[in-house]
Amino acid sequence: MDEHRRSQIFAEWLDRYRGLVARVARAYADTLADQEDVAQEILMQLWASIPAFRRDARETTWVYRISLNVAMNWRRGQFRRRRRLPLSLIDPSELPAAQSAEYAEAVGKLYTAIRRLHAADSSVLLMHLDGLSYGQIASVLGCTSNNVGVRLSRAKKRLAKMLEGLADEL
């Protein structure tokens, strides 16, 4: 694959999945600096994976697999530290929407709770919140759709306990 085509695909992915990368990074790392580290590693692995990507594979599944695998490995300190790039991918600015204050608080608490869940629950929840189908989640994780349903319902129960006061019914 020539460099130009590779850059083109990466630019498309960056445009489409920047939010996804930022969310996964925030769900697995506490501080902004760490989140940028995770995001950077995900982008590097996405770039490296492009030659192996086949068009018949589902793009979202591919990007999610890489993002989750990298983020979980990063948590275990499996990736060597690289030079930090000035990514500025994640901006701690306020949300512009009308319900921003309430939403921002809810989302902040949600991230804190997700970080405390174990890897299997947090990954299922992340993808479910992002609107992925059970089939897509199963394909990312390598299990059956049935299992995704059971795991999601258990993860929601654990989340509800953690978010007591914020979430009425999950």
Q: How far is the CB of 55 from other proteins (least distance, A)?
A: 14
Q: How far is the CB of 43 from other proteins (least distance, A)?
A: 5
Burial class (CB in 10 A: 0-12, 13-18, 19+), 27: buried
Which of 71, 67, 162 minimizes the C-alpha distance to 110?
A: 162
Q: How far is the CB of 132 from other proteins (least distance, A)?
A: 12
Q: How far is the CB of 103 from other proteins (least distance, A)?
A: 4
Q: How far is the CB of 65 from other proteins (least distance, A)?
A: 6
Inter-axis angle of helices 134-141 and 145-162, to 10 degrees?
Answer: 100
Q: Which is nearer to other proteins, 78 or 112 (CB)?
A: 78
Q: Are 128 and 152 in contact (CB under 8 A)?
A: yes
Q: Which is nearer to other proteins, 34 or 44 (CB)?
A: 44
